[in-house]
Amino acid sequence: MPVKCCFYRSQTTETMAWSENMDTLLTNQAGLDAFRTFLKSEFSEENVEFWLACEDFKKTESAEKIASKAKMIYSEFIEADAPKEINIDFSTRDLISKNIAEPTLRCFDEAQKLIYSLMAKDSFPRFLKSEIYKKLVNSKQVGNHKKWFPFL
């Protein structure tokens, strides 16, 4: 009789772990893809795209790239009538507008926190109740019964 390995994390467990908190979801590529699909269905995918752009921006090392990436994020998500304009308050938008001439790696922090909070309080709970998430959990449970590795 095979023995189940205690170090193996099943796909079902992984998929269900996404419900623990939004960070778990966002750091898992499959979870992020599912969440993105859900946000697209709600016409709010710009939120996760902005959050991801900010995460990438914070890893930028070259001063030239900081300036160009900041301008790209600003034109894509922040300025009035941007193609993927995010919903932030006037004072946050105004502060970013003033600081974009000499951007730092922290220039989008406040806006990123607002968008993260919006997703965590609003979109994430709806995602966990969505058909997209339910189907993923159910499909992993059905196809996952024989995935334990026996010790040799």
Per residue of the chain (152 residues), give pLDDT as tens.
444 444 444 455 677 778 888 999 999 998 999 999 999 999 999 999 999 999 999 999 998 999 999 999 999 999 999 999 999 999 999 999 999 999 999 999 999 999 999 999 999 999 999 998 988 888 766 554 444 434 33
Are the CB atoms for 133 and 12 separated by under 8 Å? Answer: no
Cα gap 77→101, rounded to integer Å: 16
**Site of tokens 């300036």:** 67
Cα gap 92→6, rounded to integer Å: 48
**Site of tokens 């922290």:** 106
DSSP state for residue 84 in the 8-state scheme: T
